[in-house]
Structure 1
Amino acid sequence: MLDVLGAFTPERSALSLSELSRRTRLPLSTTHRIVGELARRGALERQEDGRYRVGLWLWEIASLSPRGVGLRENAMPFLEDLYEATHENVQLAVLDAPDVVYVELISGRNAVNVISRVGGRLAAHATGVGLVLLANAPVDVQEHVLSQPLKAYTPKTVTSPQQLRRVLADVRRDGFVISDRQIEMVSLSVAAPVYGAGDDVVAAISIVVPADGTDPRTLVPAVRAAARGISRSLGAYQSG
């Protein structure tokens, strides 16, 4: 069942039975049975053309995740304040190493383009939020990421494990990071950690702005203030 659900992607959000069978490498009869069970429960929905999409029931289940809707609800007032102050892209993400998963994104009409989306993933080592989360992750998680090939999105992406170690050390020292054109050459981000009730880092927020004509250091106080506000809302004693 998980293989069937995992066959859906943002690019392939509607799939036929035969497509699901091919993508999961399951016999068509097995796929038919599993899809029928998922559809009856509401995990999949059948379209008029016979193809299937992810159903609303999965959204209801996903909302129970403490790193999902609950985190988002506490963060939204501070994210909205940060957006209103800047009218730039504001993001909230959690770590699922080696990636980050974006929980919320507020984007203005005239803000610089971003490739992140709510529910989407990007490699942690190449994003501001990811660098913050990796820097505060357990050592075994960091070492696992550092031992893998580091994808280059642009010529500015940090792909050297040695350089990434230095960046993570700087993040722990400074309490924020400026990720300069690592995902797209047109943008940079300023990110800071969000602490939970156990005073561990549970999320990160960032603001994404045009790389040209922006002094990112002027944005650091606002981003860190928003992160501290979310941390207090989550019951953290330490707030960065």
Structure 2
Amino acid sequence: MAGNSAESGITVASRVLALLGSFDPEHRALTLSEMARRAGLSLPTAHRLVSELVDWGAVVRRSSGKYVIGRRLWDLGLLSPTQSGLRQVASPFLHDIYGATLATVHLAVRDELDVLYLDRLSGHASVPVVSQIGSRLPLHATGVGKVLLAYAPEDVQTAVLSDLTRITPYTITQPGLLRDQLRRVHREGYATTVEEMSLGACSVAVPIRASNGQVVAALGIVVPTLKRDRARLVAALQVAAQGVGRSLGV
């Protein structure tokens, strides 16, 4: 088959993966042209491969003409050990925290230089929360992210500290100040944010440790303010995190 010279030597699998990889949290619905451009493929090639992805259920074409990730990929993603194991074990503990606080609760892991949200229970309070299940956010601007960054390898910390993007006027962008906060996570056992990811939202988070002591995830909660209930929230999170860790060990 004759094709675009830029595509020569690229396997069909690589092209398909490039098309699926054109989706991200900021691009959840794309036209065929946008998918082709973001994947670096010609329009005819993208059209042929996307048609096959639609037939298989990997992507779905909406009435608007835009494509979104299909249910079949979601079902496959749930088979990942990260998703099915940790998320399933942690679920009852997240519900316990939610039942006690009625606030938004997060379960997250580190994915390279981002925090990946595995689960979320939405709170009753009208607090702006930008996370979604499966979304990725900056490590330095989220409570769960700071916890995971505090226990990340030195090269990961160096990479994150070298590029501290300001998201709100309160985002910590001074490497020295963030280093101090990461050291405090080790001393105090929890991390906090105050309107650093979104205005009007504060968070507190604690680490989840496996039976060998390794931090494998973070558990966090988002509230309007931490001025009154910080100690209570930290205690509730730590009890839940210990429960998750013991269950993972089993």
> TM-score if structure 1 supplies the norm length?
0.89
> 2:118, 2:133 within 8 Å by CA — same for their partners in 1?
yes
Match of 1:108 among 106, 123, 126: 123
Percent of paired sites with the same residue? 48
> 2:105, 2:123 within 8 Å by CA — same for their partners in 1?
no
1:19 aligns with 2:34: yes
Deviation at 1:202, TM superposition (A): 1.0
Q: Which 4+ residue blocks in structure 1 deviate beyond 6 angstroms?
A: none
Aligned AA (2:153): P
Tell me the SS of whatever aligns to 1:68. Answer: helix
Deviation at 1:2, TM superposition (A): 2.2
Give the structure 2 partner of residue 56 of structure 1: 71
1:92 aligns with 2:112: no
> 1:111, 1:209 within 8 Å by CA — same for their partners in 2?
no
Aligned AA (2:123): G
C-alpha separation between the residues in 1 aligned to 2:227 and 2:238?
A: 21
Q: CA RMSD in A?
A: 2.0
Deviation at 1:146, TM superposition (A): 1.8
C-alpha separation between the residues in 2 aligned to 1:109 and 1:227?
A: 22
C-alpha separation between the residues in 2 aligned to 1:187 and 1:47?
A: 34
Structure 1 residue ranges without an equivalent (≥5):
none
> 1:151, 1:159 within 8 Å by CA — same for their partners in 2?
yes
1:218 aligns with 2:232: yes
Tell me the SS of whatever aligns to 2:81. Answer: coil
Match of 1:150 among 140, 154, 164: 164
What number of residue pairs does the alignment pair up? 235
Give the structure 2 partner of residue 137 of structure 1: 152
> TM-score if structure 2 supplies the norm length?
0.86
Give the structure 1 partner of residue 44 of structure 2: 29
> 1:185, 1:211 within 8 Å by CA — same for their partners in 2?
no
Deviation digits for residues 19-61 of structure 1 (CA, Å, limit 9, x no counterpart): 3223333111221232133233321233455543212221122
Change (3 A) 1:164 1:196: same
Deviates more, 1:119-128 or 1:19-28: 19-28
Change (3 A) 1:212 1:70: closer
Deviation at 1:66, TM superposition (A): 1.9
Deviation at 1:111, TM superposition (A): 4.5
Give the structure 1 partner of residue 208 of structure 2: 194
C-alpha separation between the residues in 2 aligned to 1:119 and 1:11?
A: 12
Deviates more, 1:113-122 or 1:211-220: 211-220
C-alpha separation between the residues in 1 aligned to 2:59 and 2:132?
A: 22
> 2:106, 2:117 within 8 Å by CA — same for their partners in 1?
yes
Match of 2:223 among 209, 223, 231: 209
Give the structure 1 partner of residue 92 of structure 2: 77
Within 5 A, what are the aligned runs for 1:40-51? Answer: 40-48=55-63, 50-51=65-66
